[in-house]
Homo-oligomer: A and B are copies of this chain.
Amino acid sequence: MPSTACLADTDGQPGGISGDTTVGRKIHRLVTDLYPICRSITGDGLRTTLRKIGEQVPLEIHEVPTGTRVFDWTVPKEWNITDAYVKNSAGERVIDFRKSNLHVVGYSLPMHEWLSLTELREHLHASPEHPDWIPYRTSYYRDTWGFCLSHNDMLALKEDTYEVCIAATLRDGFLSYGECYLPGDTRDEVLISCHTCHPSLCNDNLSGIAIAVHLARALSTRRRRYSYRFVFAPATIGAITWLARNEGAVSRIKHGLVLACLGDPGQSTYKKSRRGNAQIDRVVAHVLRHSGSAYEIRDFTPFGYDDRQYCSPGFDLPVGSLMRTPNGCYPEYHTSADDLEFVRPEALADSYSKCMKVIGILEANTTYMNQSPKCEPQLGRRGIYDGVGPGGLLPVEELAILWVLNLSDGNHSLLDIAERADMDFDVVLRASDTLREHDLLVETGRRGGLEEVRHG
């Protein structure tokens, strides 16, 4: 039973990114709440993040032991850190993990030594292009350690003997990820995936996490044609682990989105699935084209977020990636400048609203058969058509009715019709609702795969 219901966005305000909004402030609040936590691809920071997500939406948390084989990979040791610093000979912390978790290279080995500045420097990372920003670095799968600091702070370091300490552990443990599953009328699934391994970085990817949480909250109270699966997992190894443990079930995924970098002030960017013409690709393109703001559609490349895994040739899932400014394309990317100021409530609200519109179309898109296909039915008699007015123009609502009748031959979905007529999907959907009420349309089937009736 498709309807416009799902499109009604009760706490979002679609369109444009002008002005703050309630939902934007709520999403930003969740970003703010998660910001201080030191996340990595394993460990307690990740676990805490999942627990906080679980306070907002029903979340099943999975713990996968170190050493588990996941395709070509192995779940690594779990890394935890409590403190880290570099002290000068006066005992002052010149680099202090307590001030920013970006100061420590992710997965640094535990250590405690006294080093000369020259020795220390080999383990320091800074970015001369942005001398005030701390860069973000990791060393997964490499046994090393390091500190990151602003270029200016690095220049200020004097010859001295430095006490260097990383109070971390790297031991057998677990990789954690969370799943929020919202069953729908069918077992066909929409996958929403976001990576949860970055420490204090807001756009990449607390923006994605917080929007996913609010999408799940909004969807949880509505009737859903599709089942929705939200995966919160560390990048790469987390997605690979999830796919390895759910290999047999991925054929249920009919549409998917990787959410990342959704809070910056830039325009929306959609990176297509590997298939390039999946329904999700067409739906997102439709939403962006009718959004009234500038946007960019990019072809698939095998370099990006976890669409790399979902779109590997052995899976080739219909999963695209929605962003604003993509990874690597904004200077704040992977630096301390990707902070709470950089992500904006209005941009978060706009991204959220576009996701809801995408979901609305996925839910409502269907194919009808015109029950009066030979010539036009007499619409005037039914009160749903006035024809050309004095100005010689047909109102768009009546034109939409003619389009839906003309193309509802069993071969065109509502989305096909909206694209051919170059009309917003909602206009076409309302026309189809009107015609259905007058028994002029009968639904003949959903696009995008046979629906499987849900058990239980």
Contact = CB atoms under 8 A, between A and B. Distances in A.
Interface of A: 70-73, 125, 127, 135, 141-142, 236, 239-240, 243-244, 247, 274, 301-303, 308-309, 311-316, 327-328, 333-334, 370, 372-378, 380-381, 388, 390, 392-394, 399, 402-403, 405-409, 421
19 contacts: A71-B375, A73-B378, A141-B378, A141-B380, A142-B380, A244-B374, A274-B406, A301-B403, A302-B399, A303-B394, A303-B402, A312-B376, A313-B405, A313-B409, A314-B373, A314-B375, A315-B375, A328-B388, A328-B393
Contacts of A313: 370, 373, 405-409
A381 B244 CA distance: 19
What number of copies of this chain does the assembly contain? 3
Nearest to A328: B392
A334 B391 CA distance: 10
A71 B328 contact: no
B402 A372 contact: no
Contact of A135 (B127, B315, B390): B390
Q: Specify which of A135, A313, A381 lies most central, judged by the most chain B CB atoms within 10 Å of its CB.
A: A313
Contact of A247 (B72, B372, B374): B374
Contacts of A390: 125, 127, 135
A148 to B, nearest CB: 11
A89 B26 CA distance: 72
A444 to B, nearest CB: 13
Nearest to A403: B302
Contact of A406 (B125, B302, B328, B376): B302
Nearest to A241: B375
A333 B406 contact: no
A18 B405 CA distance: 42
A142 to B, nearest CB: 8
Nearest to A382: B72
A311 B378 contact: no
A405 B316 CA distance: 12
Contacts of A70: 375
Given A135-B390, A240-B375, A381 B141 contact: yes
B303 A72 contact: no
Contacts of A375: 70-73, 239-240, 243-244, 309, 312, 314-315
A239 B374 CA distance: 11
Contacts of A393: 328
A394 B304 CA distance: 11
A403 B406 CA distance: 40
A246 B70 CA distance: 57
Contacts of A392: 327-328, 333-334
A303 B316 CA distance: 41
Contacts of A372: 71-72
Given A72-B378, A313-B373, A374-B312, A302 B405 contact: yes
Nearest to A308: B376
A399 to B, nearest CB: 6
A131 B73 CA distance: 77
Contacts of A377: 71-72
A421 B274 CA distance: 12
Contacts of A333: 392
Nearest to A440: B72
A361 to B, nearest CB: 22
Contacts of A394: 303
A240 B135 CA distance: 69
Contacts of A378: 72-73, 141
Contacts of A301: 399, 402-403, 421
A312 B73 contact: no
A312 B239 contact: no
Contact of A402 (B71, B302, B334, B402): B302
A417 to B, nearest CB: 10
A409 B381 CA distance: 54
A261 to B, nearest CB: 13
Q: Specify which of A312, A314, A390, A405 lies most central, judged by the most chain B CB atoms within 10 Å of its CB.
A: A312
Contacts of A308: 376, 402
